[in-house]
Structure 1
């Protein structure tokens, strides 16, 4: 399990690139380290921070959360970033990453302690996810942090007001970077205050509207997912795309990204149908929507007219054609050869069979999805078998899941990896003495973590290198691997 970055040969990024590449190699060689958490050597756990100044607007419970005693451990001073930088000098010469720096003189570890805040919903509606994300942040802390790195968790309670209160407590603790919060409304609630203090935010939201001017979104955005699967489908000969999308902010965003991606490959969008997500489990109402997408009534009418015409002809060819049409309900194909279904779970499994029912033949029309299809049980719906979707490469995630399960005796939610990669990114930048500013966060070569390569653009949006997977009866398989580097970096 590793975390790395590839930096162009400019300014202090040369040194950082070597450090991050070496850390990737070092962590890959560590294997599973979960059994060594409580007493093994490694990065310092959540240290005590000065309590925030008391004020009516800063409740006591918003202070940095204490780490449970079972996680307590300390790092011996001789096993720190200094040891890592010694290994960097020997590893940088043989770096497998093209364009990576060859020989770099390792700099001494930074002495000043950096406090990094992580804002998560540790109570409220999303507490289960928030606590799992804190667990993965802790894993990154143990894996990569030096003794000069302090991670301070704050509870947002899953609300904008709670996020604003948590951010104020973080500012009073003199943090230099904020990881999180999770929800877009919570990100919006802290953005202006963070900008006013010149503190960067690496949020876990998937809402692109909150990004920019020092706010970076770590979440899985629709753009990269849609562009990846559309480009792959077009390369396989598909050129006419349709979409059945929920009528909400996410659905509108996916439709916009589909139009953008299709135009980029010189294909066409032939049909766009929205529906109210509230009817997703209402078979009768959903049937009417899918029927419209499939143009079922017009195609059924065409079949009836054709039958009437054939019945007026008394010849063997017409009789054989009538016989062939027995059992058919429509005539002619739909006007698309790929349909994008940007939903997942039971919602997806209720839509897919209706498409087949209304004569959208999955043997002729390829079903496409986004990362919401990233579900090991998706192949239990036969209509979806053969469908393609874009997501991060599965191997690193599977290793990560095993480590998490070994440590916490439960499977991590899919979004939990975001907190690991964000914390790892912060730990490595702090460990190399790099400023936590826009220049360092937007390095063109990007970073590599649990969810593959990623990089931030100056507009605050994340770009990811994704794989394309095909749904199978026994689970998905990779049909197009994720890239290992950005080609223009």
Structure 2
């Protein structure tokens, strides 16, 4: 426990019929930039819902589970009737027990559904939901054999499990799974293995040797056709799911054609981590598909945020905006927060499109299917306008 934090000046005294909403974010430490972007977004929502009378109490989690526990204790002690945040699942695990004991609900920004339930709601973008959507889309377009390339961590495990579940539901086949150290500098081993490169390369060398020994006209013509090939033999999958983003995605993508995974023959699939500007600068990703929220409402949010703060928001800032908007609408003047109202099956229209809370506490979203282009991505399947349309 950080005793200095508990000796800080108290917040203003409670005002009658003015509920307090705590906002737990990493406002210092290595994730401070992200945390402050979410804080700005929450304050923007306050501005847009200015007619709603409640106090927002930001608390710094310092980006650690211990800091989150201290922040939760301060928030509960200051009379918060609802907690928004924290951001990381490890922090949610330390915040949830005292919040439950105090009867305070938590709307967290985590994307780990394992921490949801019993008064804890997760608003983050679920990677398994994204996998299910893009795999189902690919299956409907004739792809039956899937493989996955993912980091060797809990995120990669959840991606692999989601692919297995989707394949089982659809009757598709998983023909390969390779995991790599996300902290490594070189991912060539994983890509080489998933590509079955060694065997396919040897097949080519053996075929060339056999044809060279024959020395007839047909053999010479066949040899000529093999001149520009790296390998011989088809890949054992129709689509490859690459569960990565940022610089690691670029590094992995550059290795795909090197080990003869041809994006013109094999569809490359991704997750919401692909939802970033400039992704098409890596040629191997052009034509790839991924599932992510529609961009229209988020673009409006980005414009409003940029006008207010003269800088672009983080990708996750919309979560803080939507959570604060929910609090503004549903927290009663006496601090009550009726769970039945936010678990309404029709859901809500947020800055990332429609979403609703499952009774188990995690957020379901209406997702679009995007295709990567050289300059930008385009939507090839629109997100549903409502959950009734999605069913």
- Please say if residues 239 and 268 of structure 1, whose CA atoms lie closer than 8 Å, have aligned partners that are also in contact: yes
Find the aligned partners of 1:298 and 1:432 in 2 and give their Cα distance. Answer: 68
Per-residue CA deviations over 1:246-269 (Å, capped at 9, x if unaligned) read 001111111111111122221111
Per-residue CA deviations over 1:156-204 (Å, capped at 9, x if unaligned) read 1111121111111111222211100111111111111111112110101
Of residues 199, 208, 213 in structure 2, which corresponds to 1:298?
A: 199
- Note the 1:272-421 alignment, pairs <5 A: 272-279=177-184, 281-282=185-186, 286-421=187-322
- Structure 1 residue 441: deviation in Å? 2.3
Q: Which runs of 5+ in 1 are unaligned?
A: 1-54, 66-110
Q: Which moved more, 1:334-343 or 1:458-467?
A: 458-467
SS class of match (2:177): strand
Find the aligned partners of 1:432 and 1:270 in 2 and give their Cα distance. Answer: 56
The residue aligned with 1:214 is 119
SS class of match (2:346): coil
- Please say if residues 19 and 334 of structure 2, whose CA atoms lie closer than 8 Å, have aligned partners that are also in contact: no
For the pair 1:114 / 2:19, whether they are aligned, the reply is yes
- Please say if residues 145 and 431 of structure 1, whose CA atoms lie closer than 8 Å, have aligned partners that are also in contact: no
Find the aligned partners of 1:294 and 1:166 in 2 and give their Cα distance. Answer: 47
Find the aligned partners of 2:308 and 2:209 in 1 and give their Cα distance. Answer: 69
Find the aligned partners of 1:402 and 1:228 in 2 and give their Cα distance. Answer: 28
Per-residue CA deviations over 1:10-64 (Å, capped at 9, x if unaligned) read xxxxxxxxxxxxxxxxxxxxxxxxxxxxxxxxxxxxxxxxxxxxx9585244855
Give the structure with higher Rg (CA). Answer: 1
For the pair 1:237 / 2:142, whether they are aligned, the reply is yes
The residue aligned with 2:168 is 263
SS class of match (1:227): helix
- Structure 1 residue 140: deviation in Å? 0.8
The alpha-carbon distance between structure 1 residues 431 and 450, as it changes in their structure 2 partners (threshold 3 A), is farther
SS class of match (1:245): strand
- Please say if residues 184 and 205 of structure 1, whose CA atoms lie closer than 8 Å, have aligned partners that are also in contact: yes
SS class of match (1:141): helix
For the pair 1:136 / 2:41, whether they are aligned, the reply is yes
The alpha-carbon distance between structure 1 residues 416 and 245, as it changes in their structure 2 partners (threshold 3 A), is same
Q: Which runs of 4+ in 1 moved over 6 A?
A: 431-434
Of residues 323, 328, 348 in structure 2, which corresponds to 1:427?
A: 328
The alpha-carbon distance between structure 1 residues 432 and 477, as it changes in their structure 2 partners (threshold 3 A), is farther
Find the aligned partners of 1:296 and 1:189 in 2 and give their Cα distance. Answer: 46
Q: Which moved more, 1:237-246 or 1:145-154?
A: 145-154
For the pair 1:476 / 2:377, whether they are aligned, the reply is yes
Query: How well do the aligned residues superpose, as a CA RMSD in angstroms?
Result: 2.0
SS class of match (2:79): coil
TM-score norm. by structure 1 comes to: 0.75
Of residues 40, 44, 59 in structure 1, which corresponds to 2:6?
A: 59
SS class of match (2:331): helix
- Please say if residues 136 and 420 of structure 1, whose CA atoms lie closer than 8 Å, have aligned partners that are also in contact: yes
For the pair 1:191 / 2:92, whether they are aligned, the reply is no
Find the aligned partners of 1:433 and 1:129 in 2 and give their Cα distance. Answer: 32
TM-score norm. by structure 2 comes to: 0.94
Find the aligned partners of 1:433 and 1:450 in 2 and give their Cα distance. Answer: 28
The alpha-carbon distance between structure 1 residues 335 and 184, as it changes in their structure 2 partners (threshold 3 A), is same
The alpha-carbon distance between structure 1 residues 186 and 333, as it changes in their structure 2 partners (threshold 3 A), is same
Q: Which runs of 5+ in 2 are unaligned?
A: none
Find the aligned partners of 2:50 and 2:144 in 1 and give their Cα distance. Answer: 48
SS class of match (1:277): coil
The residue aligned with 2:347 is 446
SS class of match (1:331): coil
Per-residue CA deviations over 1:53-84 (Å, capped at 9, x if unaligned) read xx95852448559xxxxxxxxxxxxxxxxxxx
Find the aligned partners of 1:163 and 1:153 in 2 and give their Cα distance. Answer: 12
- Structure 1 residue 308: deviation in Å? 2.5
Find the aligned partners of 2:335 and 2:66 in 1 and give their Cα distance. Answer: 32
Find the aligned partners of 1:391 and 1:432 in 2 and give their Cα distance. Answer: 36
Find the aligned partners of 2:362 and 2:376 in 1 and give their Cα distance. Answer: 31
Find the aligned partners of 2:9 and 2:213 in 1 and give their Cα distance. Answer: 81
Find the aligned partners of 2:306 and 2:113 in 1 and give their Cα distance. Answer: 32
Find the aligned partners of 1:198 and 1:226 in 2 and give their Cα distance. Answer: 35
